[in-house]
A and B are shown apart, each in its own frame.
Chain A
Amino acid sequence: MSKRLICATSLGAAVALITLALPAAGQTASKLRMPDGHPDLQGTYDLATMTPLERWPGDPPFLTKEQAEVLQRTEAVRRAKTEGGDEPLPLNRAAPPVGGDTSEPKSYFELLEKRGGGAVGGYNRFWLNQGSAYNQVDGKIRTSIVIDPADGHVPPYNEAARKRLAAARATSESTAHERQDGVAAPPGAFDNPEQRPLSERCLLGFGSTSGPPALPDYFYNDLHQIVQTPDHIMILSEMIHDARIVRMNAQHLPKAIRRWMGDSVGHWEDDTLVIDTTNFNDKTRFRGSTENLHVIERITRVDDKTLLYRFTVEDPDTWDHPWTGEYAWPVTDKPIYEYACQEGNYALGSILRGARRQEAEGAAAQK
């Protein structure tokens, strides 16, 4: 599975950019504060939501409570009826069609599950732990995390990015993160471990779950924990046990030190934690961007149970304008268990071995 399956929903519509005013830097309603007077952002948060990063075609920007309830119920029924769901599958059901179910997905999650698991189904319900409600910010039920552009879509790639991606896709030597084509099996994709998606290699979780920007991955393991001290704020992503440590009021690292999750420095603007991240390496490539990606995150405590997470990403080599998303992080009392990946990664070796076997059989058949 790769983060590209998330990107696959990008429609890339050209849009007029609207400058959004950031929320007034007011006081949080919560009394939760640290001894140093800053808001206490600590806790474990469940980022799972039904609100996709980008708006599903035809959806309005906001849903009424009734609309949201209908959609949530429909999705719950769909999940219950899939394999491993709450309802047992009929014993006398027909075999799946040859080549699997290739019908058009009717919802965002159906699309994700088909992309992630293949037409014959890679995950049954046991493995999935997806959001069951739409995300709500300022009392409004959102249909996209992206809020700028206002159409709820990540802006289209600019000329430089299109050229870069086209060049990567034209060669069998490029890596999955360079290609960003939403297809796991183009020519060359199985030649070397370095060409496989980062999540398959246990290097970063899929769907930018570690971030920045930290996004829901829409499958499982969406918990994030914040631990806060006056000098450091840690954001732990459950997947791949990736801990990003934000250094408060610090200078960025020298340009030569590049990091998988970038170099994050933070400061307080009234009650908002502002995190500035640069110095990404050239492999992370959030949605096809370059190592010059710059992410600004703003985390505000909304109430005792909720944080508001807002992010703006910019990379002049990828998008002509910065774009912004936001969503609420509800607190959870669920525990985070260890996500040991490398220690049990039988998949990567088997995938490569399988490809070699296939080649050997192909060569034998030609003789």
Chain B
Amino acid sequence: MATISPGLRRIFAVAAMMGMGVVQLAGQAYRAPFGADGKPDLNGIWQALNEANYDLEAHIARPAMALRPGPYGPVPAPSTLALGAVGAVPPSLGVVEGGEIPYKAEALAMKKQNQQDWLNRDPEIKCYLPGVPRATYMPYPFQILQSASAITFVYEYAGAVRNILLKDPGPSPSDSWMGQSVGRWEGDTLVVDVSLNDQTWFDRAGNFHSDKLRVEERYTRTSPDVISYEATIEDPVIFTRPWKISMALYRRQEKNAQLLDFKCVEFVEELLYGQYRRRPLNQ
């Protein structure tokens, strides 16, 4: 450690405090197995193990995802009350570098509205495609299928799929929920540029974006069972400057690990269409 400069030591200390130190430090020495094409092998079933999908920013635990004022502080909104502790938000040190998302003032007001009206507005509730980067850290595994000629990400949640285009076709003629992803290798890192529509969110806390969003993702293998994941988020309509999230993605260790069906479309039919039944169930 004597050879490490004080500045670098400070960076390590901050990184360790943010819970990311292990991953980033390990990245210095580790080299991933390479495929026949000489690229690091990202194949596998991966999953984030954090609270990012609840709220990207640092937060203490909250009683529910939708709240109402109570006589001594917020209590769960009536629509979430029945879930009790199951519906609570677990705490997190956050995954946003620097701690806060740099919203423009108007956009921050919209974020707060989103959070208040979470039940009506979060696309996850209606089983809509999650977009990027949210798909990465939802509480479901995803699989990377990589060969020399193709890279595809398949997510268990809603059966979402992304093709990582290895040749840039130019701007997409049609916007999309999972976005157009163009990938390239920078050394041992897979870098993916993503452009999306304005319908997806970042988490269950109302963090959102416009259709000017550009996400640059970086996937680097840092140990046999860990990918270091970073996403730089740029959206001049909503944010004052680009900002970055980072986290570890872990390889699922079960011998028979595989993606199963989570076609949640079926599970939200009662929510979306129950009132149109010939005999609604709640009558």
Q: In the complex, what's the smallest C-beta–C-beta distance from A11 to chain B, in angstroms?
A: 34
Question: Are A342 and B258 within 8 A (Cβ)?
Answer: no
Residues of A within 8 A of B260 (CB): 257, 259
Given A227-B152, A231-B43, A355-B278, are A201 and B266 neighbors across the interface (CB < 8 Å)? yes
* A2, B273: Cα distance in complex, Å: 20
B176 touches which of A203, A232, A257, A340 (Cβ 8 Å): A340
Residues of B265-283 at the interface with A, using a CB-CB cut-off of 8 Å, are 265-266, 269, 272-273, 276-279
**Interface residues of A toward B: which range?**
35 or more
Decide yes or no whether B113 CB sits under 8 A from chain A: no
A340 touches which of B129, B149, B261, B276 (Cβ 8 Å): B129
Given A42-B150, A343-B199, are A259 and B161 neighbors across the interface (CB < 8 Å)? no
Question: Are B147 and A245 within 8 A (Cβ)?
Answer: no
Q: In the complex, what's the smallest C-beta–C-beta distance from B156 to chain A, in angstroms?
A: 10
Decide yes or no whether B126 CB sits under 8 A from chain A: yes
A-B pairs under 8 A by CB, number: 109
Residues of A within 8 A of B116 (CB): none
- In chain A, what residue has the closest Cβ to B200? A343
* A296, B177: Cα distance in complex, Å: 34
Residues of A within 8 A of B123 (CB): 343
Question: Are A203 and B273 within 8 A (Cβ)?
Answer: no
Question: Are A194 and B269 within 8 A (Cβ)?
Answer: yes
Residues of B within 8 A of A257 (CB): 260
Given A194-B269, A356-B276, are A336 and B163 neighbors across the interface (CB < 8 Å)? yes
Q: A234-B154, A359-B278 are in contact. List 14 more A-B contacts (CB 8 A).
A: A35-B35, A193-B269, A193-B276, A194-B269, A201-B266, A229-B145, A236-B152, A241-B160, A241-B161, A242-B159, A247-B258, A260-B261, A338-B174, A338-B178
Per-residue CB contact flags for chain A residues 221-242 toward chain B (1 = under 8 Å, else 0) read 0000101110110101000111
Decide yes or no whether A335 CB sits under 8 A from chain B: yes
Question: Are B273 and A243 within 8 A (Cβ)?
Answer: no
* A255, B272: Cα distance in complex, Å: 31
A: residues with CB less than 8 A from B are 34-35, 40, 42, 190-194, 201-203, 225, 227-229, 231-232, 234, 236, 240-243, 245, 247, 257, 259-260, 335-338, 340-343, 348-349, 352-353, 355-356, 359
Question: Are A203 and B266 within 8 A (Cβ)?
Answer: yes
* A340, B197: Cα distance in complex, Å: 12
* A203, B160: Cα distance in complex, Å: 13
Per-residue CB contact flags for chain B residues 168-210 toward chain A (1 = under 8 Å, else 0) read 0100111011100000000000000000000100000000000
Decide yes or no whether B140 CB sits under 8 A from chain A: no
Question: Are B277 and A228 within 8 A (Cβ)?
Answer: no
Decide yes or no whether B259 CB sits under 8 A from chain A: yes
Question: Are B278 and A356 within 8 A (Cβ)?
Answer: yes
* A253, B16: Cα distance in complex, Å: 41
Question: Are B147 and A34 within 8 A (Cβ)?
Answer: yes
Q: Which 10 A-B pairs have the closest CB atoms?
A: A35-B36, A352-B276, A338-B176, A191-B278, A193-B273, A193-B269, A227-B150, A243-B154, A241-B161, A227-B145
Question: Are A201 and B265 within 8 A (Cβ)?
Answer: yes
Residues of B within 8 A of A228 (CB): 147
